[in-house]
Structure 1
Amino acid sequence: MTGEVTLLVIAKEPVPGRVKTRLTPPYAPWQAAALAEAALADTLHAVLRTPARRRVLVLDGAPGPWLPPGFEVVPQATGGLDERLAAAFARYDDGPALLVGMDTPQLTPELLAPALAPGGWDGCEAWFGPAADGGFWTLGLSEPALAPALIRGVAMSTPATGEIQRRRLTDAGLRVRDLPPLRDVDTAADAAEVAAAVPRSRFAAALGRFADSAVLTDAAR
């Protein structure tokens, strides 16, 4: 089924004070926004290199120069993150859909390949990628129209979010396959670890530019 999966990227416009607020401090709001923009750009370019039926940016805000050609852009729905994720899936019900966020600039086509390879959906109805903080970095559904029943009501951004979401899938009778765990960029420590893992990325370059100007707090050291 390679090339037959819809790839969704859910993201916020990288505006200072609205994105990556947990990076402030040690980084200034404009630096946190620049890091968010770099992470988003890395993510979008990874998705561009990945075979798909279509590539969609589900965006809270307006596109900017960081958006490469090749994406359909649609607005996020209103409501909590569970509502917005469910609506993003439900919009595309003509085949499997795989959703990623903007917090994992270490994303590569190779990481997504198992869910996009021929036979990747044979014998399963969902793909799940756990995040190191207890959430999840990717979720795939063979029938996106089922997303509202599978995602709505899951408490997001908690240490148990991933466990609860995966259990929701299996309790509904879906056969789930897992992708490798990844670390979301939420804190300065996360940023440093992820940048070290992908030293040639836009994200690592941005972090390097700010290394001398960030004022580290005791908690971030």
Structure 2
Amino acid sequence: MTRHPVTLIVIAKEPRPGRVKTRLTPPYRPEQASALAAAALADTLDAVVAACASCHPELPVRPLVVLDGTPGDWLPAHLPVVAQAGGPFDERLAAAFDTARGEPALVIGMDTPQVRAHTLAAACRTLLRTDAVLGPALDGGWWALGLRAADGSLVRGVATSRPDTGAVQRARLGAAGLRVVDLPALRDVDTAPDVELVANLAPDGRFATLARSFQATGLRAHDETRLTHSG
């Protein structure tokens, strides 16, 4: 088994109101949607840090945040950060893979706060026994993609945010002659119904705690205001 380190990359966006999770509004207000995004990112980064620790020393796994925006106090200071490339999202993903310079890399997003450290650690170990790993998302996309020999050309040109994104990406890997192992399927947080469903999967996380507080207070006030204005 190769001993090259695995770079565990989180491709993320600065959680600013109006820039993230816009499909959650309504019923969530932009400030609530961005707070949920920040909580999802924090839970994801916790899992990444724990996965890196659990793999050491048998397998070196190093974290990297590829960020669109400016780091804030929501980002742990000890995590390395590089800026995202410009252009459409497939180009940003390609550039993220290319930061690994041909060594193993596993890329995840910030939309699956329910992901567990052991799931990420297992994905990194599996990656060194095959050519690629792919974690399908329930909306037809993917939540994780790993390449043992990171190569941005394998994702460049694959349209994202489509119901067939995952299938097209898998076909691209197969056409390149790569052996692909599936990871567990997860639900992305894209729409308001996803919030409660995902929160229930990881009820002790920051995301779930915040979602419950909004359901109990903030959303009710928002709905009452909307009803008052409509009447």
Same fold (TM over 0.5): yes
The answer on 1:68 being equivalent to 2:73 is no
Give unpaired runs (5+ residues) of structure 2. 53-59, 227-231
Q: What residue identity is the alignment partner of 2:95?
A: A
Of residues 130, 141, 144 in structure 2, which corresponds to 1:135? Answer: 141
Secondary structure of 1:213's partner? helix
Q: What residue identity is the alignment partner of 1:8?
A: I
Of residues 167, 170, 175 in structure 2, which corresponds to 1:171? Answer: 175
Q: What residue identity is the alignment partner of 1:23?
A: L
Q: What residue identity is the alignment partner of 1:64?
A: G
- Between 1:44-53 and 1:131-140, the stretch displaced more is 44-53
**1:76 offset after TM fit, Å?**
0.3
Matched residue pairs, number? 213
The answer as to whether partners of 1:59 and 1:73 remain within 8 angstroms in 2 is: yes
Q: What residue identity is the alignment partner of 1:127?
A: V
Q: What residue identity is the alignment partner of 2:169?
A: Q
Per-residue Cα deviation, 1:20-79 (whole angstroms, up to 9, x for no partner) = 000000000000000000000000111000124321100000111111133110000001
Structure with larger Rg: 2
Residue 213 of structure 1 is matched in structure 2 by 218
Q: What residue identity is the alignment partner of 1:32?
A: A
**1:95 offset after TM fit, Å?**
2.0
- Between 1:94-103 and 1:36-45, the stretch displaced more is 94-103
Per-residue Cα deviation, 1:103-130 (whole angstroms, up to 9, x for no partner) = 000011111232223x6422x1101000
- Between 1:205-214 and 1:72-81, the stretch displaced more is 205-214
Q: What residue identity is the alignment partner of 1:65?
A: D
Per-residue Cα deviation, 1:110-165 (whole angstroms, up to 9, x for no partner) = 11232223x6422x110100000000000000111x222x1111111000000100
Separation (CA, whole Å) in 2 of partners of 1:61 and 1:171 = 34
Share of identical aligned residues, percent?
55
Q: What TM-score does the superposition give when structure 2 sets the normalisation length?
A: 0.88
Cα pair distance change 1:25/1:2, threshold 3 Å:
farther
Q: What TM-score does the superposition give when structure 1 sets the normalisation length?
A: 0.92
Larger helix percent = 2
Q: What residue identity is the alignment partner of 2:140?
A: G
The answer on 1:157 being equivalent to 2:137 is no
The answer as to whether partners of 1:7 and 1:99 remain within 8 angstroms in 2 is: yes
Of residues 112, 134, 144 in structure 2, which corresponds to 1:104? Answer: 112
Give unpaired runs (5+ residues) of structure 1. none
